[in-house]
Amino acid sequence: MSKNQTYDVIVVGSGISGGWAAKELTQKGLKTLVLERGREVQHVQDYPDALKAPWQFKNGGHVTREERENYPIQSKKYNFDTSSKSFFVNDKQHPYIQQKPFYWFRGYQTGGRSLLWGRGAYRFSDLDFDANLKDGVGSDWPIRYKDIAPWYDYVEQFIGVAGSYENIWQFPDGQFLKPFDLNHAEKVVKERIESHYSDRKLIPNRVAHLTEIKPGQFKGRYACQARNLCHRGCPYGAYFSSNSSTLPAAAETGNLTMISHAIVASVMYDENQDRATGVRVIDAKTQKVTEYFARIIFLCASTIPTTAILLNSKTNRFSDGLANSSSVLGHYLMDHHSRISGSGTLEGYEDRVYKGTRPAMVAIPRFRNVDKQETGFLRGYGVWGGASRVKIDGSQMGIGAELKEKLVKYGPWKMSLGCQAETLPYYENRVEIDPQQKDQWGLPMIKISAAYGENEMAMRKDIEEQILEMLEVSDLQDIHVSSSEPVFGDTVHEMGTARMGQDPKSSVLNAYNQCHDIPNLFVTDGSCMVSSGNVSTSLTYMALTARACDYAVKQLKRNEL
């Protein structure tokens, strides 16, 4: 065993979870190796298009049809363009097997998808943590809100979350910075919705953007400029990413080593000691194989890669994948569902305009099946949206002064609403590896099979009806509501394939994200989730990671790892 390749901790992945693991472990004094399968991306200097004006982009920033052929999945994302293309994988170079349609959006670089996320930062509540037990679905969460609430506080104070205090029990308040304001039309719709419904509030969305600078945030970050160009990489560090925040904090300790282009093929396991001893890594550029060793290993590569690593780490004891005595590894894949939206025109208020842009929508937190079961489906959904004044179509007839006048004239106010809805954990929704088909590094290709069930379909009917009704009670005109077939992976919240639980026979991880089977192996990315809730899950991943790191270090100091 080479001392040069031995560390206290190995963290696989540098995205939202991996960045937090790196920060927490290095700040607690542990020599930490972070392995990133993609290229190195330095904060600020590797955002080459961040400050460009629209006319400085070839083709107006649009990716050509020929280029899109290499990105058939990634190009479906709303923030995929010339300026962000380098933060997405080339689908042709990174194929996977879709047994059923699955959109796998990926970013292989320092920071991973923390450079591309939507920045929605929400807490789970006990409505979420109690749900599986109450409904008799899946496996019970091994924690409750009180267990994670202090860690939500801790994470929010560091990353910065803009939001308003609302006292909605199923949508818990946090440690907030000042929110982004609602515009006039949103305030009008808010008043109309809240006066009609006793169980609904329209509030500013909660987003991981610095609207003000406070103690506890990593230095070198500045207040959000509200440019709405987040997908290019933020040179101000205003939105939270690993690159702007957790990784620099980890590097500052002197305890961090980072290696890029390092594809973790498997976790090494010593059957005599019943411990994970390290990881086997393939250099993405040279294909050279190197082994790194550590006392503790944190898998934070994101749900599907982490699952694939475990499935590929077979031993005599774990013939179906490492830490898989429960045989649930790879099963219960979840993602939220959306693709239902509606809009309408708010008449009047033509004397009211708004200035600039805003990287936050409005939110109507979950109102279905909250205090009692009131529908024919389980769980619920949230509604998100926003209002703006639509400009006159510049393609209308006119030249010279007439055309210029049309281009600067504001149109009417338009309000739009969309959704994000919970998906139940189904055993048959799974991630596998196919040993008969290999990728360019000789690793088994990942195979994904997932679909929504009857519960989700019943919920979608209700979502359409409720969006229509809310637009109508808001007295909007020219209302349109539409939906399209949901595709797994579309909301980029894949999770659940190495779930937490009290029972080692039905779960992979315990209440501290520690493998039941292998005490020095932790998983803190989306794999660990037991249910999906209806809110975006990144804040929960961060809180669980910080909590698991604290636990692991305490265990290590007591010589229990």
- In the sheet with 381-391, reading across from the earlier edge strand, the strands are 203-204, 362-364, 381-391, 410-421, 340-346, 477-483
Q: What is the pLDDT of residue 401?
A: 84
Structure tokens given for 494: 């894949």
- Indicate the DSSP class of residue 38: S
Return the structure tokens found at 83. Answer: 């300026």
Domains with residue ranges and CATH for the chain: 1-44+107-163+238-336+492-560 (3.50.50.60), 164-204+338-421+452-487 (no CATH)
Whether residue 365 has pLDDT greater than 70: yes
- The edge-to-edge listing of strands for the beta sheet with 430-438 is 97-98, 444-449, 430-438
CA quadruple 221, 123, 78, 490: dihedral sign: positive
- Average pLDDT, integer, range 116-133: 98
Q: What is the mean pLDDT of the chain?
A: 96
Residue 79 pLDDT > 70 = yes
Distances (CA, A) of 218 to 117, 134, 361, 460: 19, 40, 25, 41
Reported as a single tens digit per residue, the pLDDT across 137-169 is 999 999 999 999 999 999 999 999 999 999 999
Per-residue pLDDT averaged across 75-99, rounded?
97
Confidence of residue 305 (pLDDT cuts 50, 70, 90): very high
Average pLDDT of the segment spanning 76-88: 96
Dihedral angle of Cα 476, 482, 483, 489, to the nearest 10 degrees? -70
Classified as helix, coil or strand, 454 is helix
Q: Looking at the predicted structure, is the pLDDT value of residue 113 above 90?
A: yes
Of the pLDDT bands very low, low, confident and very high (cuts 50, 70, 90), residue 355 is low
Give pLDDT, residue 1: 47
Q: What is the pLDDT of residues 460-517, one digit of tens each?
A: 999 999 999 999 999 999 999 999 999 999 999 999 999 999 999 999 999 999 999 9
- Tell me the whole-structure pTM to 2 decimals: 0.96
Which pLDDT score is estimated for 428?
98
Nearest of 168, 164, 174, 173 to residue 199 by alpha carbon: 168
Rounded CA-CA distance 250/366 in Å is 36
Give start and end residues of each alpha helix (H) in 28-136: 65-68, 126-129, 131-135
Q: What is the pLDDT of residues 389-427, one digit of tens each?
A: 977 665 556 778 877 777 777 889 999 999 999 999 999
pLDDT at position 399 is: 78
Question: Tens digits of per-residue pLDDT, 174-195?
Answer: 999 999 999 999 999 999 999 9
Write the pLDDT tens digit of every residue in 5-15: 999 999 999 99
Where residue 443 falls (left for φ over 0; alpha for ψ -120 to 50; beta otherwise) is beta
